[in-house]
Amino acid sequence: MVLRKKHPGGAVARGWDLPDVPLASALREFLSWSEVGGISPFTIRQRQRAVRRFILWAQERGLARPQDITLPILERYQRHLYHYRKKDGTPLSFASQHTELVPLKAYFKWLARERRILYNPASEMVIPKAPKRIPRYVLTVEEIERILNEADTGTLSGIRDRAMMEVLYSSGVRRNELAHLDIPDVDTKRGSLLVREGKGKRDRLIPLGARACAWVSKYLADVRPELVAVTESGRLFLTDYGTPFDADWLGEYVKRYIQRAGIAVPGACHLFRHACATHMLENGADIRYIQALLGHASLTSTQIYTNVSIQKLKQIHDATHPARLTRDSGDQNAKTGASAGDDAQAILDALDAEAAQEKLT
């Protein structure tokens, strides 16, 4: 296995290639301030990349000082992003434009706060909202099983990979959270997993299914001792070289198993997260419990899974709507009490999810 050296967190490390101008000097201080303030390394790299892009654009137009930047200039840059075309000729999505502009607002807000400029020119800049999109594809239970079975459990790496994917599917953790799990964070006897400083620096204690616990226990007993390098990191999952997994490499690694299973869909680790939430919802889990499992700060982020989970709603619609294409006479009376109860519970679950959504609007 050949590891591609990347900056921790996924972004390729970029050297400092900005000109020696006040805008760039201020960016250095802004990034240092962000680091001291506890901003995540990933967000700091996003800020550096986005503001760097703006500074280079501004330099081409003879703008080098923070005082040179006004609201009309920022709006002109926003239009530049809107009309920009990538190498393949496609425009930047609104989500990408949003990602480019949010760091700029933070940068100029900091400049004003530090009295580097008299006012914040970005305060009145209206940026496009990042769209809340439904996942394009949700793996079925059968597809998940096919992917899991691709791991060759007759090998040490296969056992480790099966354990990692079982944890992803059972707990719905993010790939970065999986990569940063330490050994004490997983309690296979009690069936729990502790995510330390997940997204938003929030800790959460979540359940881990019995099957995932069994594979983790097997990995800890038979595999990890063989992978430990000279220096013990304490990380739960280790590469073949005994080093902790990089989050970005972990995604590429899991993607290979998805491709081996003959499933051609975009995404990797997050597909397991989507599947975990959607399958639980389809089986009657309350959306509030899914919110706690996924670590969402509000139900708004979890609502996408109520949109994805249409299979249960379709079953209810086919079973109860009078305008079906075919309808057996007397089929209502043919229902057993158990199946009728199942349908009723499914309806109640759907209504409960709808009520939760209405409270947010």
Dihedral angle over CA of 112, 117, 119, 124, nearest 10: -70
Establish if 301 belongs to a structural domain: no
In the numeric block, which tokens belong to residue 145? Answer: 């099983």
Q: Quick one: average pLDDT of 135-153?
A: 89
Same domain assignment for residues 182 and 78: no
Q: Of 226, 248, 282, which closes a domain?
A: 282
pLDDT at 351: 46
Residue 235, both tokens: 């990380």
Q: Give domain status of residue 103, yes or no.
A: yes
The C-alpha atoms of residue 210 and residue 190 are separated, in whole angstroms, by: 9
**114-128, 136-150, 324-338: least confident range:** 324-338
Same domain, 236 and 197: yes
pLDDT at 352: 52
CB 99 within 8 A of CB 269: no
Do 167 and 68 have their domain in common? no
First to last CA, the chain: 49
CATH number at residue 224: 1.10.443.10
User: Domain for residue 278, yes or no?
Assistant: yes
Is residue 324's pLDDT more than 50? yes
* 147 and 104, same domain (yes or no): no
Q: Could you tell me if 107 and 153 lie in one domain? A: no
Expressed as residue numbers, the domain containing 79 is 22-113
**Looking at the structure, do residues 254 and 157 belong to the same domain, yes or no?**
yes
> Which residues are designated catalytic?
174, 199, 270, 273, 296, 305
Statement: residue 70 has pLDDT above 60:
yes
Q: Which of 282, 309, 329 is where one domain is finished?
A: 282
Nearest partner of 146 among 251, 256, 267, 263, judged by Cα: 263
**What pLDDT, in 10s, does the model give residues 277-323?**
888 888 887 777 888 888 876 655 555 555 555 455 556 556 666 66
Greater confidence, 96 or 356? Answer: 96
Mean pLDDT of 27-33: 95
> Of 98, 113, 128, at which residue does a domain stop?
113
Q: Which amino acid is at 269?
A: C
Q: What is the CATH number of the domain that holds 104?
A: 1.10.150.130
Residue 147 lies in a domain: yes
Lowest pLDDT segment from 71-85, 305-319, 344-358: 344-358
Average pLDDT of every residue of the chain? 80
Same domain, 77 and 156: no
Sequential DSSP letters for 347-361: HHHHHHHHHHHHTT-
Domain presence at residue 124: no
Please give the pLDDT value at position 8. Answer: 37
- 84 forms beta bridges with none
- Both 192 and 72 in a single domain? no
CA distance 358 to 294: 21
Q: pLDDT band at 128, cuts 50/70/90?
A: confident
What distance in Å separates the CA atoms of residue 194 and residue 53, rounded to the nearest whole number?
38
Asked if residue 266 and residue 145 are part of one domain, the reply reads yes
Domain count, the chain: 2
Predicted local confidence at residue 304, as pLDDT:
56
Residues 189, 258 within the same domain: yes
What is the predicted pLDDT for the residue at 322? 65
Global confidence as pTM:
0.59
Sign of CA dihedral 193, 199, 203, 206: negative
Q: Which pLDDT band, with edges at 50, 70 and 90, does 246 fall under?
A: confident
Question: Which contiguous run of DSSP H or E holds residue 187?
Answer: strand 186-187
Contact (Cβ atoms closer than 8 angstroms) between residue 303 and residue 360:
yes
Shared domain for 160 and 278, answered yes or no, is yes
Long-range contacts at 62-66 (CB < 8 A, ≥ 24 apart): 63/23, 64/19, 64/21, 64/22, 64/23, 65/21, 65/22, 65/23, 66/22, 66/23, 66/26, 66/108, 66/111, 66/116, 66/117
Q: What is the mean pLDDT of residues 54-75?
A: 95
More confidently predicted of 5 and 96: 96
Is 174 found in the same domain as 90?
no
